[in-house]
Amino acid sequence: MKSNKILNILIAAIAFIGGILFIRVLMEDAQAIEESVDLQNSLVSPLISFSYWLCIAAILITIGLALMSLIRNPENLKKTLGGLAVLAVLLLVAYFLSDSNAVYNSAGGIEAGGEAGSAINRWVGAGIWYSIILGSIAGLFFVWDLVKGLIK
């Protein structure tokens, strides 16, 4: 019960700070904010910095709690590692299916960074193949679930 109260106070404090920063921006004239760099730095920059650090904190807390949950439950850890291994194997398959041929533009010239043998070309191709493979697997499971539901 006590931790719930602390969490509510923390949420209220974050909302209060964000609200004050947002209201400060709304109180100024939009034209003045666009024209004055000093005004931008004094009003908009603190709001962006606050949002940035709040996002970083949320990401770190989420990752930390997920890792704690995995460590506390070894069965879920095994399932997660198994799933990651399957995804890694599929990424390897996608990488070997991709090519590193030159990338041509509509005028027939080679795009900048798109030379033959480029590692970027290979990884972009791998990403495309990876999406196709995962989309196909998802489609198969969708059809399987649909057929299973029709049979019942």
Our CA angle for 61, 86, 128, nearest 5°, is 90
* 63 lies in the same domain as 7: yes
* 110 lies in the same domain as 48: no
* 21 lies in the same domain as 63: yes
> 55-74: buried (b, 16+ CB within 10 Å) or exposed (e) per residue?
eeeeeeeeeeeeeeebeeee
Full residue range of the structural domain in which residue 116 is found = 83-151
* 58 lies in the same domain as 94: no
**24 inside domain:** yes
Q: What is the pTM of this model?
A: 0.59
Confidence of residue 152 (pLDDT cuts 50, 70, 90): confident
User: What pLDDT is recorded for position 97?
Assistant: 93
The residue with greater pLDDT, 97 or 105, is 97
Q: Please state, as a whole number, how many other Cβ atoms lie within 10 Å of the Cβ of residue 88.
A: 10
Residue where one domain finishes, among candidates 72, 92, 123: 72
| Amino acid making up residue 6 | I
135/124 Cα distance (integer angstroms): 16
Q: Tokens 């090519």 appear where?
A: 99
User: What pLDDT is recorded for position 113?
Assistant: 67
* 6 lies in the same domain as 65: yes
| Contact (Cβ atoms closer than 8 angstroms) between residue 104 and residue 111 | yes
Q: What's the structural domain count of the chain?
A: 2
Cross-strand pairs, 115: none
User: What pLDDT is recorded for position 116?
Assistant: 67
21/29 Cα distance (integer angstroms): 15
Residue where one domain finishes, among candidates 72, 105, 125: 72
Q: Please state, as a whole number, how many other Cβ atoms lie within 10 Å of the Cβ of residue 130.
A: 20
The residue with greater pLDDT, 117 or 66, is 66
* 64 lies in the same domain as 95: no
User: What pLDDT is recorded for position 20?
Assistant: 93
Mean pLDDT of 34-51: 86
**78 inside domain:** no
Confidence of residue 92 (pLDDT cuts 50, 70, 90): very high
Share of the chain above pLDDT 90, in %: 51
Confidence of residue 9 (pLDDT cuts 50, 70, 90): very high
Q: Look at residue 88 and tell me whether its pLDDT is greater than 70.
A: yes
